[in-house]
Amino acid sequence: MSSTNRTFDGLRKTLRPSIKTWEYFVDWGKVFDNVREVEIALNKLNYLVGKPDLGEALEHALRDDPSVVRAFPLLIAVRDQTIDVFDQRTRSSQSLDFRHGRPEQAPLYMEFIKKSGLERLFGRDGVKNLVDYVMGVEVGLDTNGRKNRTGKKMEEIVGGILHDHAEARGLQVRSQMNAARIAHTWGIHVEVDKSSRSFDFAVFNPANDNLTLVETNFYNGGGSKLKSTCGEYRTLQRFLESQRITFVWVTDGKGWETTLRPLQEAFSEIPFLFNLQTLIDDGLEQIPW
């Protein structure tokens, strides 16, 4: 696609359904690190598995090492060491603290095991090994980070493209740059539309003192946020253009198919709006670095 053929239809047709890499699905390093932190406690709690008198076994485990209670929240997929629970029957709230176990609180912990359903987990028909079980819990908890992981992956991909382009042309690329960092790094004063504004990337050309600011995002699904983002970046384009600063917006994802009109309006106002494909094709050559 040549620069003279920059069209919205070309951008629309090359929207990607996904930028998922193999690392997107499970961060195994994080999973194994998290399990390792509680592995000793879990192995000690394995003593409870299959015991006919769970209450007695729990008292024995607490006398041996009260700190094993720190692993209890994770057994119900909770990372916090304090859990607040509302009891519908008594209409009262109760706060459970698992930071410091005490043997005399065995009845309280046993109540937690029963009411949370963990009693069945420790039963004869439950799990055989709590370490293996928590490994599965950690994998499940890790999937909660997939939404943020997509945004980070988009930044990583665009960052790689920018760094490759900059290296051959003597450009300087920095990530997560706000007005203060830009001023400190290159001595350029940037007026921003809001004090919290931070750009995903800033690219500086020391040969002509030109500054280019880049924002990136990827949308798997639609929603009102996409429309508001278009409005925000149209305003940002005008704001930066008045300061002779180049603004580049790289966005992608099939989520845009539900919000094409606002994206098309933004495309008509933002000269350097690309998706990954149009950026790679020749978008980098269009930008006046």
* pLDDT tier at 170, thresholds 50, 70, 90: very high
Q: What is the pLDDT of residue 5?
A: 64
Backbone φ and ψ for 65, nearest 5 degrees, come out as -160, 95
Q: Which two tokens stand for residue 43?
A: 């192995």
Distance (Å, whole) CA 174 – CA 163: 9
Sign for the CA dihedral angle at 161, 165, 168, 172 comes to negative
Instruction: Please state the rounded mean pLDDT for residues 139-167.
Output: 88
CB 288 within 8 A of CB 246: yes
Instruction: Please state the rounded mean pLDDT for residues 46-59.
Output: 96
Q: What is the dihedral of CA 253, 256, 260, 263, to 10 degrees?
A: -80
**Per residue in 202-234, pLDDT tens?**
999 999 999 999 999 999 888 889 999 999 999
Instruction: Please state the rounded mean pLDDT for residues 147-175.
Output: 91
**Per residue in 260-274, pLDDT tens?**
999 999 999 999 999
Query: Minimal CA–CA distance to 23: which of 180, 150, 131?
Result: 150
Which of 22-31, 119-128, 144-153 is predicted least confidently?
144-153
Q: What is the pLDDT of residue 289?
A: 96
Buried-exposed string 192-220: b where 16+ CB fall within 10 A, e elsewhere: beeeebebbbbbbbeeeebbbbbbbbbbe
CB 131 within 8 A of CB 42: yes
Query: Minimal CA–CA distance to 174: which of 155, 151, 146, 191?
Result: 155
* pLDDT tier at 1, thresholds 50, 70, 90: very low
* Segments of the chain assigned E as strands: 82-87, 92-97, 172-178, 198-205, 210-218, 246-252, 273-274
Cα 110 to Cα 48, 64, 82, 102, 128: the distances in Å are: 12, 16, 16, 12, 20
Residue 2 has pLDDT above 50, yes or no: no
* pLDDT tier at 3, thresholds 50, 70, 90: very low
Pairing of strands 246-252, 210-218: parallel
Distance (Å, whole) CA 12 – CA 219: 13
Residue 4 has pLDDT above 80, yes or no: no
Query: Model-level pTM greater than 0.95?
Result: no
Tally of CA atoms within 13 A in the half-sphere of 228 that contains its CB: 3
Percent of residues, the chain, with pLDDT higher than 70: 98
Q: What is the pLDDT of residue 21?
A: 82
Helix-, strand-, coil-residue percentages of the chain, each rounded to 5: 55, 15, 30
Distance (Å, whole) CA 50 – CA 65: 19
* pLDDT tier at 60, thresholds 50, 70, 90: very high
Sign for the CA dihedral angle at 268, 274, 278, 281 comes to positive
Q: What is the dihedral of CA 72, 78, 84, 85, to 10 degrees?
A: -80
**Per residue in 94-115, pLDDT tens?**
899 999 889 999 999 999 999 9
